Amino acid sequence: MRFYVIAGEASGDLHGANLIKALRTKSPNIEVRAWGGDLMAAQGADVVKHYRDLAFMGFTEVVLNLRTILRNIAFCKKDLLDYKPDAVILIDYPGFNLRIAQFAKAHGIRVFYYISPQIWAWKESRVHSIKANVDHMMVILPFEKAFYARHGMEVTFVGHPLLDSIESANAPTVRADNLIALLPGSRRQEIKRMLPIMLEVARMHPNLRFVVAGAPSIPASFYASYMGEADVEVVFGQTHRLYREARAGLVTSGTATLEAALYGLPQVVCYRGGRLSYLIARTLIKVKYISLVNLIADREIVKELIQDDLRPARLSGELDRILDPDGAAQMTADYAQLRTLLGGPGASARTADEVLKNT
């Protein structure tokens, strides 16, 4: 069988790689062509577009890069027809993937969607496109099954693939008293806005050791341009080690917040977007929280500092709070309940079963 897998971000590359590995375990002779990254390539996928060339964030950034996005869509459609896969597997990345779903469906290609777009937060109308063009949706958040049921669509809850990644790491958690992990995001726009604030907090805590988890698609020189005199190290390929060894983390909203929680890392969630993008988003987004941790729990487990609330003094105070043993203990207890909600490991294998069974 031949599969065409599309992921547009680092997290999609990780989950796509684990899915390809599971597919090969169950069906060793499959062929995979993909849009993704180095992790998918390591699992034998022929990666034709790297996600570092695809990640445009926010309303204004998308508009500024619209010509590139349209060229990528046209290339993908042609490549899809030339490859003639038995099925296309779409991983999140909705602005792009929903267009490809419609195209693939119109050309008789079976469409699987793994990791639902967050249409329960905004653009709920996209559910009609999903119903029309997706043959099988596999969701990873427990409340998504009920959401789709309200729209007359049956989906399969497979559990969260991050549990697979953490279990496969099979490494002990040993926290260093003075180590603080900084995760300013995986895109240049995020890092540009978040890292200077995090570095200011580092300057306010000279007794602590701050380490930045560098994104694989961002060169070291980009981080260096923000460092100035800050005594802060940037490391690459060691994010999961930081989750295990840091005493606390300052984490940009996104998949990293859930990763940190599943590793038991006390954290403060940070987010600051472009002014126009934020004002538009505030009128459209319908959820109470922005972090996956709080969304899944449906209550505040981790503090979220958003936009104007994300100031060095405020962030420093929240860091002090989670460094306190009582604050850290409460967050750790809340994380245990979160893991229960997400189910056990095996999401990649369950998703592979669904794909192979329904192709």
What torsion, rounded to 10 degrees, do the Cα atoms 88, 90, 96, 101 define? Answer: 50
- Residue 120 maps to which CATH number? 3.40.50.2000
Clarify whether residues 136 and 257 are in a common domain.
no
Confidence of residue 121 (pLDDT cuts 50, 70, 90): confident
Clarify whether residues 230 and 145 are in a common domain.
no
**CA 306 – CA 304 distance, rounded (Å):** 6
pLDDT at residue 334, as a whole number? 95
Clarify whether residues 179 and 251 are in a common domain.
yes
**CA 338 – CA 336 distance, rounded (Å):** 5
| Bridge partners of residue 136, in order along the sequence | 112
pLDDT tens figures, 94-116: 989 999 999 999 999 999 999 99
pLDDT at residue 64, as a whole number? 56
Clarify whether residues 317 and 174 are in a common domain.
yes
Clarify whether residues 150 and 175 are in a common domain.
no
Clarify whether residues 254 and 117 are in a common domain.
no
Q: Token pair of 38, please?
A: 């180095």
Residue 62 confidence (pLDDT) above 80? no
Average pLDDT over the chain reads 91
Clarify whether residues 124 and 60 are in a common domain.
yes
The residue with greater pLDDT, 217 or 12, is 12
Clarify whether residues 95 and 172 are in a common domain.
no
Buried b (16+ CB within 10 A) or exposed e, 137-161: bbbbbeebbebbeeeeeebbbbbbb
Clarify whether residues 187 and 128 are in a common domain.
no
Clarify whether residues 272 and 148 are in a common domain.
no
Mean pLDDT along residues 143-166: 92
Clarify whether residues 179 and 104 are in a common domain.
no
Clarify whether residues 54 and 103 are in a common domain.
yes
Full domain range(s) for residue 323 = 168-342
Total structural domains within the chain: 2
Q: Considering only CA atoms, which of 339, 347, 178, 157 is closest in space to residue 263?
A: 339
